[in-house]
């Protein structure tokens, strides 16, 4: 879970090799994914593909709460097994 107080933010950072999924559980946030900025309310969700930058800012009048999950490759693409 990510908690953002009123006016709080999560500074822009790289997703590196991770793909992230966020869902707004409560509140209102402004999200930035690389060069795109958008606002979401309760129930809104978005994906940050690996290799992108992302940031969050609470734009609501109460604390924001987001659920997130991330996935990553543990091997280089050249090491992934091809289907038999």
CATH number for position 34: 2.60.120.10
Model confidence pTM above 0.75? yes
Number of domains in the chain: 1
Tell me the residue range of the domain where 36 lies.
2-72
> Do 54 and 63 contact (CB within 8 A), yes or no?
no
- 84 residues of the chain, pLDDT tens digit each: 999 999 999 999 999 989 999 999 999 999 999 999 999 999 999 999 999 999 999 999 999 999 999 998 776 666 656 565
> Do 68 and 25 contact (CB within 8 A), yes or no?
no
The rounded distance, in Å, linking the Cα atoms of 5 and 62 is 7
Query: What does each C-alpha distance from 78 to 6, 61, 81 come to in angstroms?
Result: 45, 48, 8
Residue 83 counted as domain residue:
no
Residue 75: its pLDDT value, please? 67
Helix (H) or strand (E) holding 47: strand 45-48
Residue 79 counted as domain residue:
no
Q: Classify 40 as helix, strand or coil.
A: strand
Residue 73: its pLDDT value, please? 75
């Amino acid at each position: 879970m990510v908690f953002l107080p009123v006016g709080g933010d999560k500074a822009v950072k790289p997703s590196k090799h991770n793909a992230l999924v966020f869902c707004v559980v409560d509140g209102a946030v402004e999200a930035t994914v690389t060069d795109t900025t958008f606002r979401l309310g309760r129930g809104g969700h978005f994906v940050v593909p690996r290799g992108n930058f992302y940031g969050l800012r609470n734009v609501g009048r109460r604390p924001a709460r987001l659920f997130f999950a991330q996935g990553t490759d543990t091997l280089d693409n050249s090491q992934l097994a091809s289907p038999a």
